[in-house]
Amino acid sequence: MVRQKLKPGTSHSYEVLETAIVAAFEQARVPLFWIMLQSRTDATDIVYLNVADSLEEWNDLPARYRKAVAAHPELEKMSTRLATFIERTTSTLTTRRDEIPFSRTGIDLQTMRAMRLAVFEISPGHEGRFVNAARGTSDRAAPWLLYEANDAPTFMLVTPLKTARHTSKALPHRLQALKDDGTPSADGVYAVRLHMSRPPKGWMVR
């Protein structure tokens, strides 16, 4: 997951260039994919989801990119230009905590058109307590997916939504009850921008 803050006044230029980048990657048939989402309240607040089936596949992605730009130098030039619009970036490699069941109610990461993202940066050593609070009642499925950062005590609740207008339910009561780690450092709704995304095959059919 890559969270970016664009420089003020650059969101339109960013959109135009990113749309062109998607077309260029499609034309070059590069096996790299991403989902781009934009805050429904702030066009300069964006999130990218870069999906991999395994850590091994994730580790192979840089090699895929190097091979692609060697054959198509224009891709790197466009990406470098895109970076000039970015004020700051936070990139977090996460792993799904799949011991918490997800309630599949017809909308998931592959079909969503928006998502609510709540980020919790908790105190080191309290990871287990947080997961237990997130789990709640073990026999009940949750309407969100829980991801944990691979190298930091950070958790993300991702709630797939049909549209950005469909706000999700409140955060789990047991998380709200935690005094130190119950308040997310970020909590917002982001809409999928398909024209700036290059989803994997079978995802988000246009």
pLDDT digits (tens, 9 = 90+) for 45-57: 999 999 888 889 8
Same-domain check for residues 75 and 115: no
Last residue of a domain, one of 35, 61, 91: 91
Please report whether residue 59 resides in a domain: yes
- Give the whole-angstrom CA distance, residue 138 versus residue 136: 6
Please give the pLDDT value at position 170: 61
The 8 Å CB, 24+ separation contacts for 173-182 are 173/136, 174/133, 174/134, 174/136, 175/120, 175/130, 175/133, 175/134, 177/133, 178/129, 178/130, 178/133, 180/122, 180/123, 180/126, 181/120, 181/122, 181/123, 181/126, 181/129, 181/130, 182/133
pLDDT digits (tens, 9 = 90+) for 8-26: 999 999 999 999 999 999 9
Last residue of a domain, one of 57, 91, 125: 91
Please give the pLDDT value at position 70: 96
Same-domain check for residues 86 and 143: no
* Confidence grade of residue 174 (pLDDT, cut at 50, 70, 90): low
From the list 89, 143, 93, 86, the residue with the least C-alpha distance to 115 is 143
Same-domain check for residues 147 and 112: yes
Same-domain check for residues 58 and 114: no
Please tell me the total count of domains within the chain.
2
Q: What is the mean pLDDT of the chain?
A: 87
The answer to whether residue 172 scores a pLDDT higher than 80 is no
**In CATH, what number is assigned to the domain containing residue 27?**
3.30.70.100
Please report whether residue 146 resides in a domain: yes
- Give the whole-angstrom CA distance, residue 167 versus residue 159: 9
Same-domain check for residues 98 and 186: yes
Please give the pLDDT value at position 31: 92
pLDDT digits (tens, 9 = 90+) for 74-125: 999 999 999 999 999 999 999 998 888 887 667 888 999 999 999 998 888 8
Please give the pLDDT value at position 7: 97
Q: Which residue segment(s) compose the domain that 70 sits in?
A: 2-91
Same-domain check for residues 185 and 100: yes
